C-alpha cells in the first residue's frame, strides 16, 4: 500500500491552455474525491466518485472542469482554457467506503497549478 | 447550506501545554466529522474520524469530541510538542451524500 499518488506534483501553464491531472487512489478504495485548495483556506470539494460513477459535483466545477474515473481505478481531472483564478493546489483523496472508519479519507500530496 | 468554522485561526503555545482546537458547523445532520493535519505545502493526514453516533474518539495524545446538537467538535492535544506544529482542519460529511465541507483550519505553532 503506497498511499494516494498524484501526478504531476507541479504544473505551470499559460492562460488558455488545457491541463490534466492524474490521481491513483489506494488500491481497493471505492470512493475518490477531488478538492481545490488556495492559500490559507481549507480544501473545497469539487467532485466525488463511487467506483466509476461520478455521484456528486460541486457548482464550483464549471463546464471547463471535467473529471473521470474509468474502470473505477485512477482518476483524471482536466481543466480547459485555464484562467489565472484556477491557480491552486488540487488534492485527491480516497476512502474504502462502507461506513464507520472505512470512510476515513486518505489524501495525496497534491498537484500545485500555477496559471500565468 | 453547511458551513464549518474553526477558532482560533492561529495559536502559539509553549511546549508541554495542553490545548483545545474548536470546530463548529451549522447543520447538525452530519454523517461523520474528521480531523486532519496539514504540514506546509503538503497533503492532509487523517487524525481522527468521529461517526455521527459517537461522542468522542481518541488516538494517542489526541482526543476529539462531537456534540451534534450544538454543532461543535473539539480536538484536544495533550502535552504538545514542537512536532505538532501544523495546520489542523476539521471536515464534515452531511447525511445523504459525500460532499465534504472543510473549515479554514487552525494554524498551530508549538514553541520549544
pLDDT of residue A57: 87
DSSP E strands: which ranges in chain B? 4-7, 10-14, 19-25, 30-38, 44-51, 56-59, 62-67, 72-77, 86-94, 100-102, 106-111
Nearest CA distance, A7 vs chain B (angstrom) = 13
Contact between B108 and B84 under an 8 Å Cβ cutoff? The reply is yes
**Three-class secondary structure assignment of chain A:** CCCCEEECCEEEECCCCCEEEEEECCCCCCEEEEEEECCCCCCEEEEEEECCEEEEECCCCCCCEEEECHHHCCEEEEECCCCHHHCEEEEEEEECCCCHHHHCCEECCCEEEEEC
Nearest CA distance, A45 vs chain B (angstrom) = 6
pLDDT of residue A106: 95
Which member of A31, A58, A91 has the closest CB to residue B43?
A91
Q: Check whether the bond before B56 is cis (ω within 30° of 0).
A: no
Contact between B20 and B88 under an 8 Å Cβ cutoff? The reply is no
pLDDT of residue B88: 98
A10-13 and B56-59 strand pairing: unpaired
Nearest CA distance, B20 vs chain A (angstrom) = 19
Q: Among A22, A27, A29, A25, which Cα is nearest to A8's? A: A22
Query: Angle at the Cα of A24 (from A8 to B31), degrees rounded to 5?
Result: 120
Is B105 near chain A, with CB under 8 Å?
Answer: yes
Name residues of chain A where pLDDT drops below 50.
none
* Assigned C-alpha cell, A91: 488534492
- The whole-angstrom separation of Cα B87 and Cα B91 is 13
Banded model confidence at residue B3, pLDDT cuts 50, 70, 90: very high
Tens of pLDDT, residue by residue over B36-58, are 999 988 889 999 999 999 999 99
Tens of pLDDT, residue by residue over B58-98, are 999 999 999 999 999 999 999 999 999 999 999 999 887 78
- The whole-angstrom separation of Cα B28 and Cα A95 is 23
- The whole-angstrom separation of Cα B75 and Cα B66 is 9
Is B79 near chain A, with CB under 8 Å?
Answer: no
pLDDT of residue A1: 55
pLDDT of residue A97: 86
Query: Angle at the Cα of A95 (from B73 to B57), degrees rounded to 5?
Result: 30
**Residues 30-49 of chain A whose Cβ lies under 8 A from any Cβ of chain B:** 31, 33, 35, 40-45, 48
Amino acid at each position: 500500500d503506497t498511499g494516494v499518488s498524484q501526478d504531476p506534483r507541479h504544473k505551470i501553464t499559460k492562460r488558455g491552455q488545457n491541463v490534466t491531472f492524474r490521481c491513483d487512489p489506494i488500491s481497493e478504495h471505492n470512493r475518490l474525491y477531488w478538492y481545490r485548495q488556495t492559500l490559507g483556506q481549507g480544501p473545497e470539494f469539487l467532485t466525488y466518485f463511487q467506483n466509476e460513477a461520478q455521484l456528486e459535483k460541486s457548482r464550483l466545477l464549471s463546464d471547463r472542469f471535467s473529471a473521470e474515473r474509468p474502470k473505477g481505478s485512477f482518476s483524471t481531472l482536466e481543466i480547459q482554457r485555464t484562467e489565472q483564478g484556477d491557480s491552486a493546489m488540487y488534492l485527491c483523496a480516497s476512502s474504502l467506503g462502507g461506513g464507520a472508519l472505512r470512510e476515513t479519507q486518505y489524501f495525496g500530496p497534491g498537484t500545485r497549478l500555477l496559471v500565468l | 447550506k453547511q458551513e464549518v468554522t474553526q477558532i482560533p485561526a492561529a495559536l502559539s503555545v509553549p511546549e508541554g501545554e495542553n490545548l483545545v482546537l474548536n470546530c463548529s458547523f451549522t447543520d447538525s445532520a452530519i454523517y461523520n466529522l474528521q480531523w486532519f493535519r496539514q504540514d506546509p505545502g503538503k497533503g492532509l493526514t487523517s487524525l481522527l474520524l468521529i461517526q455521527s453516533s459517537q461522542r468522542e474518539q481518541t488516538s494517542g495524545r489526541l482526543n476529539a469530541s462531537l456534540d451534534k446538537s450544538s454543532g461543535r467538535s473539539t480536538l484536544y492535544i495533550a502535552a504538545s510538542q514542537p512536532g505538532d506544529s501544523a495546520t489542523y482542519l476539521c471536515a464534515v460529511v452531511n447525511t445523504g451524500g459525500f460532499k465534504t465541507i472543510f473549515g479554514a483550519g487552525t494554524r498551530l505553532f508549538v514553541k520549544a
